[in-house]
Amino acid sequence: MTHWKKLTNPDYLGSYAFERGEEKLATIDKVTEETVTAAEGRKSDCMVLYFRQKDLKPMILNHTNAKMIEKLAGTPYIEEWSGLNIALVVKKVSAFGDQVDAVRIKLEKVSGICECCGKRITAAGDMTAAKVAEYTKNRFGSVLCADCAKRHK
């Protein structure tokens, strides 16, 4: 199914980028403050969340999602959020006098996410998932699943 907003190529991640019921796993790269221009031309300063997964667009970070990251990371300092694995989902929320779809961060600790394909890292051969993540980080400079590690060789 194609959401109409996918055809407008917005610069930021939104609910339109999810299939029904889909969960996207991501690793936080950094959080910045940027001037964002809305569709109608209005500019505002926003927190923008960047991911290590190159196929995920940056996400404008609202207070609800920032508080969720703070809980998951155990710190309010954005500089300490880098490397945190999160799960993104779409939920119905009240906004603008209506029920709308919004991207939300789940209150769930997510372990090992491949920085290439975004899938959960699983055990491979005689290595546990944690060992696969540690090995690929040391060997390739990125946390990778076994399949992506094979492609990077």
Helix, strand, coil percentages, rounded to 5, for the chain: 25, 30, 40
pTM comes to 0.77
Longest dimension (CA), the chain: 55
Tokens of 10: 């917005």
Mean pLDDT of the chain: 89
Flag whether pLDDT at 112 surpasses 80. Answer: yes
Secondary structure letter of residue 11 according to DSSP: S
In the predicted model, what is the mean pLDDT of residues 93-116?
88
Domain boundaries, the chain: 4-105, 112-153
Cβ contacts of residue 1 below 8 Å, gap of 6+? 19, 20
Cβ contacts of residue 40 below 8 Å, gap of 6+? none
Q: In what order do the strands lie in the sheet with 98-105?
A: 59-61, 43-51, 24-37, 85-95, 98-105
Question: Tens digit of pLDDT for each residue in 52-87?
Answer: 888 899 999 999 999 999 999 999 999 999 999 999
> What is the pLDDT at residue 3?
61
> What is the pLDDT at residue 118?
81
* Contact between residue 48 and residue 8 where contact means Cβ atoms under 8 Å apart: no
> What is the pLDDT at residue 34?
94
* Contact between residue 122 and residue 149 where contact means Cβ atoms under 8 Å apart: no
Question: Tens digit of pLDDT for each residue in 19-45?
Answer: 999 999 999 999 999 999 877 788 999
Flag whether pLDDT at 117 surpasses 60. Answer: yes
> What is the pLDDT at residue 73?
95
Flag whether pLDDT at 7 surpasses 60. Answer: no
% of residues, the chain, pLDDT over 90 = 63
Lowest mean pLDDT among 23-32, 113-122, 126-135: 113-122
